[in-house]
Amino acid sequence: MASEKTLRQLADENDLTLGASITADAFRKYPDDPDVAQTLTREFNAVTTGNALKMGPLRPDRNTYDFEDADAIVNLGVANDLLVRGHTLVWHNQTPGWFYPWDYTDDQLRTFLRDHIHTVAGRYREKVDVWDVVNEAVADDGTMRETAWYDAMGEEYIDLAFQWANEVAPEADLFYNDYGIDEINEKADGVYALLERLIDRGVPIDGVGLQMHAFRAQEYVDPEALGENIRRFKDLGLDVHVTEMDVAYDRENVPENHLEHQAQYYRDILEACLDNGCDTLVTWGVHDTASWLRNYDQTITDDPLLFDEDFDPKPAYFAIKDLLESRV
């Protein structure tokens, strides 16, 4: 029989940080529809700041910050005793419209990034527990991605970003976060080598985030391969978190009863995570309506999360719950 406990209670009992990202739109701008906040705070013990702390939404112009959305999410988390994960201080994507046309010098960009990190991580030093400091800095072939940050500062921009974050938020855990590194492959090797260099240079990094977006879940990560990868990163002395999980299928190859397949997939990944010393799993949204996949790629399914459009729990919810219950 299904447990009467909430997922949050079971996560707490398993020392699991179980989070979801939310966007400010989803819960603050539609006050008649408070279910995102209700479901989040009842069923999860952590929240990630969706889009609100990315440079694009946060920086309407070069000298201004708009913290309204970010404050709303962070304060919701703090008020409900959720662990708060800030996402993300440095990324090449979702930058403000003025950013790429800006004719900066390398020094200006460095100063800009330092001020950005000091301001943002400093503002939330008492509230954000974990930062995705640098997001997606490695290309799919494992080489360093040629971003504006890399062009201006070389690989040192990563060292600096972690140092600047550590200066103003010394209590926060500081993470490198990326996609497509959930099992050992060319890109994961590149990230591994990068993290090894950072550690050798004394950079204050605490962990690595595996995003874990599964677009074609039948062909995606084998739990054994995930476990091997987690252990490899942990052997570097890093914590490993699953930071943006969702589970989708190629519309031309959707398994019969795909919600059951999805449930088993979530369960297997969480089990591999826990068995290999990864104590954090975050889903990229609370309910399917708010999934980024609704606007991303029409060739894959767009019901990748634990709750459906009506905030009813899906088979994946019960599968995770069952797993956690069995481990209490």
Mind telling me the catalytic residues? 136, 244
Cβ 13 to ligand G3I, closest distance in Å? 30
Looking at the Cβ atoms of 209 and 315, the one nearer to ligand G3I is 209
- List the one residue from 244, 271, 288, 302 that touches ligand G3I (CB under 6 A): 244
What residue is closest to ligand G3I based on CB? 292
Q: How deeply is 142 buried, as exposed, middle or buried, from its count of CB atoms within 10 A (0-12, 13-18, 19+)? A: middle
CB of 60 to ligand G3I, least distance (A): 12
CA gap 250, 168 in Å, rounded:
43
**String of contacts with ligand G3I for each residue 273-312, x by CB under 6 A:** -------------------x--------------------
Q: Which of residues 195-224 bind ligand G3I (CB under 6 A)?
A: 211
Contact assessment for residue 137 and residue 161, using Cβ atoms and an 8 Å cutoff: no
State which residue, 136 or 183, has the beta carbon closest to ligand G3I.
136
Minimum distance from CB of 309 to ligand G3I (Å)?
17
Asked if residues 277 and 230 have their Cβ atoms less than 8 Å apart, the reply is yes
Q: Of 85 and 321, which has the nearer Cβ to ligand G3I?
A: 85
Q: Which of residues 7-36 bind ligand G3I (CB under 6 A)?
A: none
- C-beta closer to ligand G3I: residue 14 or 88: 88
Q: Which is nearer to ligand G3I, 87 or 321 (CB)?
A: 87
**Half-sphere exposure of residue 106, counting CA atoms within 13 Å on the CB side?**
8
Q: Which is nearer to ligand G3I, 10 or 76 (CB)?
A: 76
Number of neighbouring beta carbons within 10 Å of residue 145: 15
135/21 Cα distance (integer angstroms): 15
For helices 258-275 and 315-327, angle between their N-to-C axes, nearest 10 degrees = 30
Q: How far is the CB of 184 from ligand G3I (least distance, A)?
A: 20
> Could you give the string, one character per residue 41-60, with x where binding to ligand G3I holds by CB under 6 A and - elsewhere?
----------x---------
Quickly tell me which residue has 């398993």 as its tokens. 14
Q: Smallest distance from the beta carbon of 286 to ligand G3I, in angstroms?
A: 13
DSSP H or E run through 76: helix 68-79
- Shortest approach of ligand G3I to residue 4 CB, angstroms? 33
Contact characters 154-183, ligand G3I, x per CB under 6 A? -------------------------x----
CA 253 to chain centre: 27
- Residues 84-143 contacting ligand G3I, CB under 6 A: 93-94, 135
> What does the radius of gyration of the chain's CA atoms come to, in whole angstroms?
19
What are the residues whose beta carbons fall under 8 Å from the beta carbon of 17, sequence distance 6 or more? 11, 45, 46, 83, 241, 279, 280, 281, 282
Report the alpha-carbon distance of residue 164 to residue 143 in Å, rounded: 24
3-state secondary structure at position 18: strand
Q: If binding means CB under 6 A, how many residues of this protein chain bind ligand G3I? A: 8
Residues that bind ligand G3I (CB under 6 A): 51, 93-94, 135, 179, 211, 244, 292
